[in-house]
Structure formats: C-alpha cells, structure tokens
Amino acid sequence: MVQASSEHATADAQVAMPADVDLHARPAAEFVRTAMRFSSEVWVAVGEREANAKSLLSILALGARRGTSLRLRAEGADAAIALETLAAAVSQLRD
C-alpha cells in the first residue's frame, strides 16, 4: 500500500519480494532501471538497512531474499507514482 503526503511530496510503501526471487544482479538491475525513471529520490530498506534505489551496488548490498519485506520511500514531485510503479515492479520480478 502506498501512502502519500502532498505537503512534502513524500510517499511510503511496503511490499514483499516474490517467494521465488532473490534480489541478485538481474532482478536488482530491473528494479534500479525502474527507479531511475523518476525524478524523486527513492530509497528501499530491508530491516534497519536503507539504500538508494537508484544505485545497483547499494541494492545488491541489502541482500533481500525470497519473501523479504521491503520498505519503499520516495521524496519529490512524482513520489507517489514512483512507489506505485516500483511496488508493482517488485511483485513482477523474476529470476
């Protein structure tokens, strides 16, 4: 679910990794390419670790595995649509 605040143009969402996909090079690259389509700053967090969603190395360092819950956060003019798109992209990731 994406929650947006128009005051500060921020949005937050929580999404689970598919049960059959780890966030390794190919799925991570797809995720980063999607994040880069937006002007907003976008972050993804696993547990207490947070990474820039537009940095492949940072995403890989999170080590997200099958079924892991990801917290998405965006700030900027297109924050809400960025997170809606990224949440949908995560649910469609394939190995």
Query: Which amino acids are annotated catalytic?
Result: 24
* 3-state SS string for the chain: CEEEECCCCEEEEEEECCCCCCCCHHHHHHHHHHHCCCCCEEEEEECCEEEECCCHHHHHHHCCCCCCEEEEEEECCCHHHHHHHHHHHHHCCCC
